[in-house]
Structure 1
Amino acid sequence: MKHNFKNMSGYVFNDCKVIERVESKNKRAMWLCECFCGNRFIESGTRIRNGSKKSCGCLRKKKTSERNTTHNKSQTRLYRIWCNMKARCNNSNNPAFDRYGGRGIKICDEWNKSFDEFYKWAKISGYSNELTIERVDNDGNYEPDNCKWANYSIQGRNKRNNALSEYNGELRTRAEIAELTGLSYGTIRRREQSGIDFDKPIR
């Protein structure tokens, strides 16, 4: 049976352009397209018309790369502090959510959307690797006017009902150990119960 396909040659969608018709696949019209980056790819007319195809795949790769690299700061302690702060406030599955996001503690939009903005504030506010973030008002949000950097002993006195464990010769809360080691709360709790060193690699 002969199928009549609409000629889409020259059709522009998102940042791509249809070049020409190619061999059909499973009775679907297929088209050779060129992405704005210069790459060429083949796609069905249906996906082109409904807008589900945005590029050759370069945009997805670019966004993934940006999320992973975060301007070469993704392996720093400060980046882990930012991620843990967001997890405590935004992720209902996080073990600490009930004490943060679950009771209304939020992160200001500026920090929540951009690590770079949090990084800039941290640097001008005196951050160093010996310090951890503290909210001045324990019932207030994570925002520039309500946050400062404090050493662990000072912050520990400001915390209530904290379970403390020894790490590198000092008593730390689970949140602090998580920031220092990158371990999850569940792993920290299991290692506490089993007497396993927090720095031992996960197998």
Structure 2
Amino acid sequence: MIKAAARPSARSVTSRATTVAPGDRFGRLTVTAEDEPYLWRGRFSRRRWACDCACGGSAVVREDSLLSGHTVSCGCVRDELTRERATRHGARAGDKRRPEYQAWQTMLHGQDARVCARWQAPAGRGFKAFLADLGPRPTPQHRLVRRDPARPFTPGNTAWVESPPRAGVPRRLITVRGRRMTLRDAAAEAGIAYATLCKRLERGWSTRAALTP
């Protein structure tokens, strides 16, 4: 009977010659020392190398990823490219996502209305066109609306509109016969439920009427 060839052990695989050595550079990474090998279910292994990154970070990278050029940094290159794309598309102001970008994303992914092709262009062109057509959001109180809800989002049918203040938002403190007190205390003193008082104030009732049992 012919025996099958024995599978090489992890030790025999990692002991083979390597073209990587401490001091070698791969992109932003400089190899400093060999680390523990990468094992997958004990079937094979790959050499791994501890590396210092030019940005000040560090990483442990498989040898094949270094040699193929798949990994060239500790992750900082990927992060920089992401920030660059966001900035190039106008999605960020400083380190914060622009409210216009959030509104554009919500519009695109909404389920209740169609969006014109101009604002759906790929590679950031859609957002640039959207911002050029509507301009920045005037204030945090403005929201994106369609003038005619039956028509899709288009430059002529979309606008920033200031949201009206919510009428009758319950207040934390109210004045009852010259005394300032919390809503809960006022409700208990009047002999009504706290939730009832809140609902009445939300509907625009006067304080006197809202506290009437």
TM-score range, shorter chain: 0.3 to 0.5
TM-score computed with the length of structure 2 as normaliser = 0.44
Q: By percentage of residues, which structure has more helix? A: 1
Q: TM-score, structure 1 length as denominator?
A: 0.46
